[in-house]
């Protein structure tokens, strides 16, 4: 009887330990880290633009240039294709993303909340993002954009207040790579949904300084951004 | 060896392992209080930024800081309330004491290795909790900011954040050094320790202790309480900036409005 009791206790301790480990093994992937986008992600298919969007491209491009000159928060999707390293931090309820360019921190809520009602949602450059896990893939839904910052979307088109973005995040290469597939829909810009995939590589450290100190009143910078360059002489 | 002896031996081994695993989890890799979320500082409702900012226990200040405070107060009373300092690339970003006291909620994302603290949806502070030491804030390559260099560790249920490396000056013609609540200063010689602790599911207490022998005669300590905004929506500073103009000499600050 004593042996049986001891064995039962052993099994209980072991199973509790195994359950705990199993829980950890099946836990959500942790996307936290410093992520770098490299040149292999710039093969983006051409977006199926509406006629109206094609006609508006030049005006949008000029508006984006003004945003760059004015150090306006770049917003989505520029935050995700920033030339600097992207810092992603994951907690159980929210994920934060910080780019180097002038931008707001992007927050993705994974606590089960819904988007706020449209009348409560003031548009932002990053929009309002909620995410849910489907097995090992994080599916993110974003609405509530405004039209400030850099609005250009890779492959063509631009962000408007009617845009709807869906993203799927999945770790690859034993956690050293992160693939993100973006799908934009907006009846005023795209004839059909526009999708492309970026691959980010994990890097060990964040280059300093982490944040670009963009000075909107920097006269030299303003000249550099506005003057037509003189032809190079060799 | 009998079955009984084997069973006893296995059980003893497991019982030895279990506390060690638990201790490791408590040390840093396991669950810690979840502080992520949107937090609103609890201003008692003075309605005045200056009154609120000074609503802390009075620090014991060095005589020259007291004299400088009196000079600034006289200057502001004389109407010098506009920041006329040019905003250049040399101007440091951020202002930690102001950010932590301001009405826009603090947006915390606490991952295992790093804690983000944003304000008004813009970027803010980075607190490294991965065990790294401070950067060499005396090195020429270090770019000082108004947020300094912050590292953190957990002491039980409390996140302890240590910050050095503040910028020596800020671009503000009215007060060219960052102010600390109560009348102190935060600059390159200043050391700040913050203690973050959940005192309820939706209440966060932060105790600030400032040390700088060039500013304070003794450590200056005060606490703020923040309330969680469970369904809060991060807002964004949508102030329309002026497009870069070479002849523009200074930026409009909130104090000018």
Mean pLDDT is lowest, of A87-101, A169-183, A205-219, B158-172, for A205-219
Give the separation between CA A207 and CA A232, rounded to whole angstroms: 32
Residue A229 CA: distances (Å) to CA of A61, A65, A70, A134, A224: 19, 16, 20, 50, 8
Mean pLDDT is lowest, of A100-109, A208-217, B16-25, B114-123, for B16-25
Output the pLDDT for position B245. Answer: 41
Interchain CB distance below 8 Å, A6 and B143: no
User: Is the pLDDT assigned to residue B24 strictly greater than 90?
Assistant: no
How close B180 comes to chain A (CA, Å)?
A: 23
Cross-strand bridge partners of residue B110: B115
Interchain CB distance below 8 Å, A124 and B113: no
Give the separation between CA A122 and CA A109, rounded to whole angstroms: 17
Output the pLDDT for position B83. Answer: 83
Strand ranges (E), chain A: 33-37, 86-90, 94-98, 106-109, 128-134, 137-143, 164-172, 177-185, 194-203
Instruction: Tell me the longest C-alpha to C-alpha distance in chain A.
Output: 95
Interchain CB distance below 8 Å, B14 and A92: no
Residue A59 CA: distances (Å) to CA of A62, A123, A124, A147: 5, 21, 20, 13
Write the residue in B34, B88, B109 that is nearest to A215 by C-beta: B88
**What count of other Cβ atoms lies within 10 Å of the Cβ of residue A166?**
15
- Which residue of chain A is at minimal alpha-carbon distance from B30? A24
Residue B144 CB partners (closer than 8 Å, separation 6+): B92, B137, B165, B166, B167, B168, B188
Residues listed for chain A:
234
Stronger pLDDT, B42 or A6, i.e. the higher one: B42
Mean pLDDT is lowest, of A82-86, B145-149, B235-239, B244-248, for B244-248
Helices (H), B33-179: 49-53, 63-77, 96-101
Output the pLDDT for position B29. Answer: 53
Q: What is the dihedral of CA A131, A136, A137, A141, to 10 degrees?
A: -10
ω into residue A6 within 30 of 0, thus cis?
no
Q: Kindly state the DSSP code that residue B47 receives in the 8-state scheme.
A: S
Write the residue in A13, A91, A124 that is nearest to B18 by C-beta: A13
Stronger pLDDT, A13 or B93, i.e. the higher one: B93
Question: Would you place residue B251 in the very low, low, confident or very high pLDDT band (cuts 50, 70, 90)?
Answer: very low
Helix pair B3-24, A2-25: axis angle to 10 deg: 30
With a threshold of 0.90, does the pTM exceed it?
no
Write the residue in A98, A217, A218 that is nearest to B123 by C-beta: A98
Interchain CB distance below 8 Å, B111 and A104: no
Helix (H, G, I), strand (E, B) or coil at A62: helix
Helix (H, G, I), strand (E, B) or coil at B61: strand
As a whole number, mean pLDDT of residues B5-29 equals: 38
Helix, strand, coil shares, percent, chain A, to 5: 25, 30, 45
Stronger pLDDT, A45 or B103, i.e. the higher one: A45
Q: What is the dihedral of CA A124, A126, A130, A134, to 10 degrees?
A: 160
Could you give the percent of chain B with pLDDT greater than 90? 54
As a whole number, mean pLDDT of residues A141-168 equals: 97
Question: Would you place residue B176 in the very low, low, confident or very high pLDDT band (cuts 50, 70, 90)?
Answer: confident
Give the separation between CA A44 and CA A177, rounded to whole angstroms: 18
Residues listed for chain B:
257
Give the separation between CA B112 and CA B243, rounded to whole angstroms: 40
List chain A residues with CB under 8 Å of B19. Answer: none
Residue A151 CA: distances (Å) to CA of A44, A68, A155, B56, B204: 16, 11, 12, 44, 37
ipTM: 0.82
User: Is the pLDDT assigned to residue A123 strictly greater than 80?
Assistant: yes
Interchain CB distance below 8 Å, A219 and B244: yes
How close A139 comes to chain B (CA, Å)?
A: 19
Give the separation between CA A109 and CA B37, rounded to whole angstroms: 10
Q: State the SS3 of A108-143.
A: EECCCCCCCCHHHCCCECCCEEEEEEECCEEEEEEE
- A43-73 per-position pLDDT tens digit: 899 999 999 999 999 999 999 988 988 889 9
Q: What is the CA radius of gyration of chain B?
A: 23
- A1-55 per-position pLDDT tens digit: 455 554 444 444 444 433 333 334 457 899 999 999 998 888 899 999 999 999 9
Write the residue in A146, A210, A222 that is nearest to B246 by C-beta: A222
How close A164 comes to chain B (CA, Å)?
A: 18
How close A6 comes to chain B (CA, Å)?
A: 6
Interchain CB distance below 8 Å, B236 and A104: yes
């Amino acid at each position: 009887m004593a042996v049986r009791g001891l064995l039962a206790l052993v099994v209980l301790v072991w199973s509790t330990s195994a359950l705990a480990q199993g829980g950890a093994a099946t836990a959500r992937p942790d996307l936290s880290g410093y992520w770098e986008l490299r040149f292999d992600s710039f093969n983006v298919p051409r977006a199926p633009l509406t006629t109206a969007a094609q006609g508006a491209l030049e005006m949008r491009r000029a508006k984006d240039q003004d945003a760059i000159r004015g150090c306006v928060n770049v917003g989505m999707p520029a935050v995700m294709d920033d030339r600097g390293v992207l810092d992603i931090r994951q907690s159980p309820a929210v994920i934060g993303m910080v780019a180097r360019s002038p931008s707001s921190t992007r927050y993705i809520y994974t606590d089960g909340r819904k988007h706020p009602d449209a009348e409560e949602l003031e548009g932002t450059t990053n929009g309002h993002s909620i995410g849910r896990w489907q097995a090992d893939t994080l599916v993110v839904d974003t609405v509530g954009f405004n039209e400030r910052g850099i609005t250009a979307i890779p492959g063509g088109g631009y962000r408007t207040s009617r845009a709807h973005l869906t993203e799927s995040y999945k770790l690859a290469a034993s956690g050293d790579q992160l693939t993100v597939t973006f799908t934009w829909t907006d009846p005023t810009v795209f004839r059909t949904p526009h999708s492309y995939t970026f691959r980010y590589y994990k890097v060990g450290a964040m280059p300093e300084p982490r944040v670009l100190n963009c000075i909107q009143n920097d006269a030299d910078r303003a000249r550099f951004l506005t003057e037509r360059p003189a032809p190079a002489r060799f | 060896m009998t079955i009984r002896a084997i069973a006893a031996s296995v059980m003893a081994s497991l019982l030895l392992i279990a506390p060690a695993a638990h201790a490791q989890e408590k040390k840093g890799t396991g669950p810690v209080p979840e502080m992520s979320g949107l937090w609103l500082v609890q201003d008692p409702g003075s309605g005045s930024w200056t009154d609120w900012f000074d609503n802390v226990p009075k620090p014991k200040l060095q005589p020259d800081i007291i004299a400088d405070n009196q000079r600034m107060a006289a200057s502001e009373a004389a109407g010098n309330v506009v920041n006329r300092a040019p905003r250049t690339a040399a101007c440091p970003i951020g202002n930690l004491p102001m950010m932590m006291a301001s009405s826009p909620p603090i947006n915390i994302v606490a991952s295992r290795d790093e804690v983000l603290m944003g304000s008004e949806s813009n970027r803010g502070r980075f607190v490294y909790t991965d065990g790294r030491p401070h950067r060499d804030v005396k090195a020429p390559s270090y770019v000082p900011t108004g947020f300094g260099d912050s590292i953190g560790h957990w002491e039980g249920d409390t996140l302890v954040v240590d910050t050095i490396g503040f910028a020596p000056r800020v671009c503000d013609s009215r007060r060219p050094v960052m102010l600390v609540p109560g009348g102190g200063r935060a600059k390159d010689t200043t050391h700040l320790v913050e203690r973050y602790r959940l005192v309820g599911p939706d209440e966060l207490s932060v105790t600030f202790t400032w040390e700088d022998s060039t500013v304070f005669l003794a450590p200056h300590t005060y606490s703020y309480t923040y309330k969680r905004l469970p369904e809060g929506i991060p807002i964004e500073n949508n102030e329309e900036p002026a497009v870069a103009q070479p002849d523009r000499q200074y930026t409009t600050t909130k104090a000018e409005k």
